[in-house]
Chains A and B, each alone.
Chain A
Amino acid sequence: MKQLNSDLIGGLIVTGLAVFFHLLRDEFTRLAAMFPDAVIPVVGALGIAILVKAFVKPQYISSEVFRTNHIMVLTVLLGFAWVLSMKRIGFAVSGFFAITFLLLVFSGKFTLRNALRCSALAAMEIGLVYLVFGWLLNVSFPSGILF
C-alpha cells in the first residue's frame, strides 16, 4: 500500500500558512504589529522543524486515509451550494433541495419513490429547523427571492 510522509505534507501546510500570513502583513501600527511579528516567525520555524523531521525521522500514514468517494465530494459541494444560494434563493427552498439531494446521495437509490420519501423528510427537517431556530429561538433566516 502506498505510504504518505505526513510530516512532509504537514510541514508544508504549516510553513505555507506562515508565509501566507507574512505576505498579508501590512503596515500595522506598532501596537497592532507587536504580536504578529512575534507569532508568524514562530509558526514558520515550527513548520520548518516539521519539514526537517520529515527527512530525519519521518512519520508515514497510509494513503488510504485520504480515500474519498462521490458521496463525500457531493456532501461538500452541496454544502457550499446551499450556503452560496441561501441569500439569493432563500434559506428554506435552497435547504430543501440540498437536504433532498443529500438524502438521495446517501441512500444511493435514485428512484421516484425514494425521491419522494427524501423530499418529505427534507421538508420535515427544514420545518423543524424553522420551528426551533426561527420561531422558538428567534433566529432570522434569509428569505431570498423564493423563501
Chain B
Amino acid sequence: MSVLTLKNLLFMSFAVPIGIMAGALPGFTATMAVALMVPFTFTMEPISGLVTIGALYCATIFGGSFSAILLNTPGTPSSIGTTFDGYPMARQGRGEEAIYTATIASGIGGFVGTIILIAFVVPLAKVSLRFGPPEYFWTSIFGLTIIASLSSQSILKGIAGGAMGIMISMIGVAPVGGDVRFNLGLASFQGGVELISVLIGFFCLPEVLRMALTPDTTYSEVGKNENGKSVITVAMRNVFGHMGNTFRSSVIGALVGILPGAGGNIANLIAYNEAKRAAKDPETFGKGNAQGIVATESSNNAVVEGAMVPLLALGIPGSPPAAIIYGALLLQGLTPGPDLFTKGAHITYAFMLSFFVSNIIMVVMGFFAGKAIYKMVLKIPTRVLAPGILMLTIVGSYSIRGNEMDVLVMLVSGIAGFILRELDFNPGPIVLGLILGPIAEKGLVQGLLMGRMVSTTSPWIVFFTRPICIVLIILSLLSAFWPFLKDRFAKRIPVE
C-alpha cells in the first residue's frame, strides 16, 4: 500500500509523460532520462524516489515506439523492431491502431515482467550468474541467426549486412586487449561508432530523403486513419487476441533483461523473430502486421523489470539505466544485493510492485498522448515535417555525447542506409551486427582465454562443453535452419 499514496501516484504521473517525451525524442536514451531524474529524487523518501525513477524508465522505453511508428526512427534502440511494422502501418493509415497496439502491448509486457521479477527474482539472478564468456558468445550467435528472418528477400545480402555491422562495430577500443582499431586516426572514433547515431541515420534520414522527392504531399495523404472509432478495439484484439505472441514476447524480454549486458535492443529483435517464426502469415511481417509491434513492444517493456533481477538480488547492474538506479539506491542508503530482501524488504517490494502502477499510468497516458501526437503529425505537411525531422535527427545525434562527429556519422549512415536499402540490403541485420558484434568479440576472446586454462591445445572446447552453451547451440541451429525445416514440414502436410 505504500506505493499507492497520493504523493507517489503524483510523482509517477509526473515521471511518465516526461519519460514518454524523452523516449520519443531520437537520440535521447533511457539512460540519459533516468540519469537526469536521479538528482530530483535525492530529497525524496526512498520509496517515492525509486518509484519515480522506475516509472520514468518504463515510460522512456515505451516512448520510443512513437517515433518508431510515426517517423520510422526508433526513439530508443529498444524500438528498432517497432519500425519494421509500425511505420508501414502508419503509411497504410493505421498509425493510431499501431500506437494503441504498442501502448497496450507495452503495458502487458510490463505486467508480465513485473510478475516474473517478483516471483523469480532470486533463482533467476543465480542462473544469470552462470553466464560466462562462452555463453555470451553463443547468445550473440543466437541473436545473429535472426538475420535470416529479417532479410527474407535476400538472405545472402542479409548475412553480408550483418557481417558488415559486426565489422563496423570493431571501430574503436578493442573490448579485450585495449588497442584502438580502425579509427582512421580520429580521436572521436576511439570510443567506437555511436550506435544511436547510426540508428537515427539508417532509419530516419532515408525517410527525409524520400519526402524530398514528393515535398507537396502531406503525411495524412498516405497515413489517414481509416478505422475510425473502433481503433482501440482493434488494438485490444491485436494484443489480447494473440496472447501467445504477447506472453512469449514478454517472457523473452524479461529473460533477456536478466542477462547483464543484454537489453531491449536485443530482446525486441529476438521477440520479433520468434513472432514471425510462429505466425501463420510470416510473409506479412515487415509490411504492417500488428503482431510485429506486439512482439517488440511487450518484450522491450518486460526488459525493464528483467534488468532489475540481477540488480536487486545480486547488486549487479546489467544495463546502463540499471547502473544509474544502482546509484540511486545507494544514495537512498540501500545496498543492492541480498540485504535488500531483509533489511530494506519493504522498500524493495514497494519498488517492484510500483511497476504494476507505472504500467497502468503509462497505458492511460499513452492513449491520450498517442492520439494527440498522431493527430498533430497528420496535420503537418511534408514540406514542414521533413525539415523538422532533419532537425530532430541532428539535435538527437548531437545530444548523445555532445560530439559533432556523431552527427556526421548519422548523416553518412543515412545516405548509406538510403543507398543500401535501394540495393535490397535490409538495415535490420546491419544494426543487429553492430549491437551484437562487441558481445560476440568479448565472449569469443575471453572464452578462448578461459579455454586455455582447460586445454592449451584446444581452448575452443570450452564453447562446446558447458551445459548452457549446448542449449544455446541447439537453439541457434534450430533458429538458423528453421526456414528450411518449416518448408520441409509444410511440404509434408499436403501429402498426408
* Chain A residues packing against B (C-beta within 8 Å): 6, 9-10, 13-14, 17-18, 21, 24-26, 28-36, 38-40, 42-43, 46-47, 49-50, 53, 59, 61, 65-67, 69, 71-72, 75-76, 79-80, 82-84, 86-87, 91, 95, 99, 102-103, 106-108, 121, 125-126, 129, 132-133, 137-142
Contacts and interface: CB of A to CB of B under 8 A. Distances in A.
Given A32-B177, A75-B208, 15 more contacts: A35-B441, A35-B444, A39-B163, A40-B167, A50-B157, A50-B160, A65-B422, A72-B213, A75-B386, A79-B394, A83-B394, A83-B411, A102-B390, A106-B215, A132-B21
A136 B426 CA distance: 36
Contact of A129 (B154, B174, B391, B441): B391
A46 B212 contact: no
Contacts, number: 171
Contact of B404 (A31, A39, A87, A139): A87
Q: DSSP majority for the B interface?
A: helix
Interface of B: 21-22, 25, 28, 32-33, 36, 154, 156-157, 159-160, 163-164, 166-167, 170, 174, 176-179, 181-182, 184, 208-209, 212-213, 215-216, 382-384, 386-388, 390-391, 394-395, 398-399, 402, 404, 407-408, 411, 415, 419-420, 422-425, 440-441, 444-445, 448-449
B443 to A, nearest CB: 10
A6 B154 CA distance: 11
B425 A106 contact: no
A38 B193 CA distance: 20
Contacts of B32: 137
A71 B215 contact: yes
A129 B390 contact: no
A111 B407 CA distance: 31
Given A10-B425, A28-B177, A34 B159 contact: no
**By DSSP majority rule, is chain A's interface helix, strand, loop, or mixed?**
helix
A6 B408 CA distance: 26
B423 A6 contact: yes
11 contacts: A24-B182, A25-B182, A28-B174, A31-B449, A50-B156, A65-B422, A66-B422, A71-B212, A82-B394, A86-B404, A133-B25
Contacts of A59: 154, 424
A33 to B, nearest CB: 8
A17 B433 CA distance: 15
A129 B395 contact: yes
In order of increasing CB-CB distance, the 10 nearest A-B pairs are A32-B177, A31-B177, A32-B174, A32-B179, A102-B387, A106-B383, A46-B160, A72-B212, A139-B399, A71-B212
Most-contacted residue by chain A among B163, B209, B419 (CB, 10 A): B163
